């Protein structure tokens, strides 16, 4: 009996250790740039871009330098996801520089982003292109799904806000460590039918944390999409204008929901 208790105690402490290891956090980089970490697994969304269009936060130089050097906590990134090709979400040069400095990291994106990398001067037969995965996915196409490097990945194309039908905009859903599922919506518009046609996809896996553009808050359709279709445990709004930096509490109160406003800020994704 004593031995049984000892074994039980040992397995309990192992269990506790496992829990302690599986912390999950989201770190804000700027505009819609987010790093999500689950244990040893790390992914980046919309992290490489050069255009602020005068109103959106760029990734601060200190964070860019740490990312390029692979300094903690920006070391060991497993994959990069890009929502769409607009310059406040993606610019080929910094993305390519990062991929050259990190020779195993892969990039997943709409085909237009793949083409932007080629058009920036990376030859088709450059080994780097073997790590660039572009998908030609339209709003009516069913979701893509794949597993890679311990990540379970899915995406649907959700049309860009403001009637820009020529832009491929993806909502990526990524599960890290088989436990933490996040969804990044890019610049999705708040058209209910653009989401409801993918209901089966959205219901096929529970999203723990969604990162919608902040215009989903306070918009009847946006709120309905977040509540009834995406149904995440929590949402953190992104794409907030840079003038919100330093004033996050006021912006969050006014939005009626959580927002990332200051590059470098983080959220613990375990619990709420």
Toward Zn ion, which CB reaches closer, 94 or 150? 94
Candidates 186-194, 202-210, 216-224, 256-264: pick the segment binding Zn ion (CB under 5 A).
186-194
Q: Taking contact as CB under 5 A, which single stretch among the options 46-54, 65-73, 185-193, 215-223 is the one that binds Zn ion?
A: 185-193
Using DSSP, state whether 65 is helix, strand or coil: helix
Residue sitting closest to Zn ion (CB): 86
| Secondary structure of residue 126 in the 3-state scheme | coil
d(Cα 206, Cα 101) in Å, to the nearest integer? 34
- Binders in 18-77 for Zn ion, by CB under 5 A: none
For Zn ion, the closer CB: 198 or 239: 239
In the bound complex, what is the minimum distance in angstroms from residue 256's beta carbon to Zn ion? 21
Tokens of 226: 């977040």
Q: Which of 46, 78, 187, 194 binds Zn ion (CB under 5 A)?
A: 187
Residues 73 and 261 sit within 8 Å (Cβ to Cβ): no
Show the beta-strand stretches assigned E in the chain.
24-30, 33-38, 41-45, 79-81, 106-110, 132-135, 144-148, 151-157, 170-176, 180-184, 209-211, 234-235, 266-268
Looking at 22-60, list the stretches that DSSP marks H as alpha helix, in order from N- to C-terminal side.
none
Q: Coil, strand or helix: which one is 144?
A: strand
Task: Give the number of other Cβ atoms within 10 Å of residue 128's Cβ.
Answer: 14
The nearest distance, CB 86 to Zn ion, in angstroms, is 3
Least distance from Zn ion to the Cβ atom of residue 272, Å: 27
**Site size with Zn ion, rule: CB under 5 A:** 3
CA 223 to chain centre: 20
Contact set for Zn ion, span 79-108 (CB under 5 A): 86, 88
Comparison of 24 and 259: residue with beta carbon closer to Zn ion: 259
Question: Smallest distance from the beta carbon of 32 to Zn ion, in angstroms?
Answer: 6
- Mapped onto helix, strand or coil, the DSSP state of residue 239 is coil
Residue closer to Zn ion by CB (options 38, 86) is: 86
User: Among residues 78 and 88, whose Cβ is nearest to Zn ion?
Assistant: 88
Min CB(96)–Zn ion separation in Å:
20
Cα–Cα distance between 107 and 97 in angstroms, integer? 12
Return the number of the residue (38 or 90) whose C-beta is nearest Zn ion. 90
Least distance to Zn ion, CB of residue 131, Å: 24
Contacts with Zn ion, residue ranges (CB under 5 A)? 86, 88, 187
């Amino acid at each position: 009996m004593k031995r049984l208790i000892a074994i039980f105690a040992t397995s309990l402490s192992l269990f506790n250790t496992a829990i302690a290891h599986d912390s999950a956090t989201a770190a804000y980089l700027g505009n819609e740039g987010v790093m999500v970490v689950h244990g040893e697994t790390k992914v980046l969304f919309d992290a490489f871009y050069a255009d602020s269009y005068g109103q959106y936060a760029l990734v601060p130089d200190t964070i860019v330098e740490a990312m390029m050097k692979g300094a903690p906590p920006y070391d060991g990134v497993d994959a990069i996801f890009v929502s769409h090709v607009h310059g406040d979400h993606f610019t080929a040069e910094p993305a390519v520089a990062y991929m050259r400095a990190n020779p195993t990291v892969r990039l997943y994106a709409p085909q237009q982003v793949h083409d932007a990398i080629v058009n920036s001067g990376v030859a088709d037969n450059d080994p780097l292109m073997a790590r660039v995965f572009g998908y030609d996915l339209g709003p009516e196409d069913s979701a893509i799904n794949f597993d890679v490097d311990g990540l379970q990945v899915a995406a649907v194309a959700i049309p860009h806000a403001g009637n820009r039908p020529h832009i491929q905009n993806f909502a990526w859903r990524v599960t890290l460590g088989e436990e933490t599922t996040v969804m990044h919506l890019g610049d999705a518009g708040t058209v209910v039918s653009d989401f409801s046609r993918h209901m089966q996809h959205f219901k096929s896996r529970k999203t723990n944390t969604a990162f919608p553009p902040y215009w989903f808050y306070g918009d009847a359709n946006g709120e309905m999409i977040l509540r009834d279709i995406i149904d995440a445990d929590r949402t953190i709004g992104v794409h907030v204008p840079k003038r919100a930096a330093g004033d996050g509490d006021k912006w969050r109160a006014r939005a009626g929901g959580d927002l990332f406003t200051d590059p470098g800020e983080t959220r613990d994704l375990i619990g709420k």
